[in-house]
Structure 1
Amino acid sequence: MTASTPLRRLVGVSLKMYYDLSSTLRYVQGVLELDGLAWNYRIDLFVIPDFISLADSGRILQPSSIILGAQDCFWEDAGAYTGEVSARSLFQAGARIVEIGHAERRAIFKETDAQVALKAGAAARNGLIPLVCIGERTHGNIASAAVGAAVEECRTQVEAVLAAIPEDAEVILAYEPVWAIGAKEPADADHVVNVTKEIRAMAKGRKGVTRIVYGGSAGPGTFGKIRDGVDGLFLGRFAHDIQNLKRVIEEIGES
């Protein structure tokens, strides 16, 4: 795929730390059953389990086109970094995507834009596609002002990452307004489209593929309203029910 090739739709789900080992593998086995459906709809489907489940999940998904992801990586390839996991090891374990900079990590572990960029660079140099979570923390009452503030907050996040990876590296930008994560409804469709169009403009001219997905209380009905700005959805707990994930794949595939 080149930057000029029509982009395939993209749908994925992160399991965060909701499941233990055995329930994670049961879930991944369920995702495997959606492989043919996603393939027929020309959708790239990915799943991101926890670290300890990664290798076994890779073995389950090996005969399929489903992409295995990891939830984080460190910015060095080796060294005295107790408790961290290198992008090199993740690639060797079968991961092809690595999620970086989620709002929870920025809030709980105080990750900075600079650290997220370093991780994106480590992912790219080790053959992984960085899936970088970006998004504004607050939402104003005036629509135009809210869009402008969101774009500028995202700009610093996006520019740091793009400066840290090769121009021809593939990257996925997951727009997740922090205020919409875990909310009853996703962000307003007009807001998402306006912000993501500006985010796409930030990556204009890159040689590598840049895809944009939306996350933040996404579910049925979300994609059709925001398809002018995004290439797919990054799902949370809603998709922990395999039937819900199937519904979203069908909806995106038929849109």
Structure 2
Amino acid sequence: MLKNARYSDAVGTRLHWLAAQVAYLTGWMAYDAGLKSAGQQHYVAALRSAQASGDDDLGAFVLAEMGVHISETGQDGERVTLVETALSKGPAKLPSSTCSFLHLHRAVALSRQGDHRRAAAALHLSETSWDRSNGHRSDWLSWYGEGQIASSRGKVLLRSGQVDKATRALADSIEKAVPRDQAVRSGRLAQARLEGKDLHGALDAANRGLALLEERVSSARAVECLAAFSSKLGSYKKVPAVREFRDRLKALPEVAAA
């Protein structure tokens, strides 16, 4: 429609705005399925369409999401730059909920760099921005809220060595999540509990995520989290419950086909 149809400027703006959301959603689905290169291509298309529509709010959101992909290739500094570029529009021009989302991404990226002081400051800004928003969000950000903040808080705290606080935050984030996110976050919680020397609790969380992958959802991200947890169980390999978990993990279609 954008390439071949005839329409007014107002309709064109609306079409680009909708195309940006469709491209973002397609990119996220590709990312969740492990098709990261394809996902990034869709995100670039989403960013271009958001810019064409004149929606700075949506464009800032897409920039932050693109940073997630970049970060996973070890380019955490570039992710920080992308988020700060999005924030450069200024709090006065972006809704508080979007500012919260951007500061949260910045906190995670900084924590991955080992800059825990600045990460904590960014996390605080995210939380205070969310409080100011009173839960008001753009429609395309309707899924964002306390659960996402708690999940990222857990990641930031864990990297800074605050295992107990991280574990509580990650456990809380699971209770506020949809099944797909529960599967991903269960793997992260398992890793946090293992770091806290709680093998039983770690396996309980991991098996919860595994059950979701066996029965309800398909997510390459969740499989990666559980595989990362499994790789840290070497010293417990003779424990029957560990062997059972690893056998179930290997039986997942995504793992068996690898």
Same fold (TM over 0.5): no
Higher strand share: 1
The TM-score with structure 2 as length reference comes to: 0.31
Q: Give the TM-score taking structure 1 as reference length.
A: 0.31
| Bigger Cα Rg | 2
| Structure with a larger share of its residues in helix | 2
